[in-house]
Amino acid sequence: MSLAIYMDEHIHSAITVGLRLRDIDVLTVQEDGRAGTPDTILLDRAMELGRVMFSQDQDFLIEAKRRQAEGINFFGVIFARQSRVSIGDCIRDLEIIAKLGEQEEFANRVQYLPL
């Protein structure tokens, strides 16, 4: 069983499409009716949905670090800096994570791309 991914709202749609073509379970913030929602609420929503959050927004790193420091659980964040990772690399690395990763590996952690 693969990991499900919750895509932040500013992720390029080509990444979402590429992952879906590879049979990865992806839900975007927009599809979930949460566009414009604060990051703290989106991380809670990802936890509620049982999905790892994928973002290119550094504010998620700040929120994840705060939660780690305060012992607040979250389902995990995968982060890629737009200027350092191509769309193709994001698709490849997210596919590897989704197909081979186990939830326990990502709980309360931040995974950086590229792998």
Running DSSP on this structure, what letter comes out for residue 115? -
| pLDDT tens figures, 38-58 | 999 999 999 999 999 999 999
Q: Which residues of 96-115 are buried (b: 16+ CB within 10 A; e: fewer)?
A: ebbeebeeeebeeebbebee
* Percent of the chain at pLDDT exceeding 90: 93
Q: Tell me how far apart the alpha carbons of residues 76 and 25 are, in angstroms, rounded to a whole number.
A: 16
| pLDDT tens figures, 72-97 | 999 999 999 988 899 999 999 999 99
User: Full-prediction pTM beyond 0.75?
Assistant: yes
**What pLDDT does residue 82 have?**
85
Give mean pLDDT, residues 4-12.
96
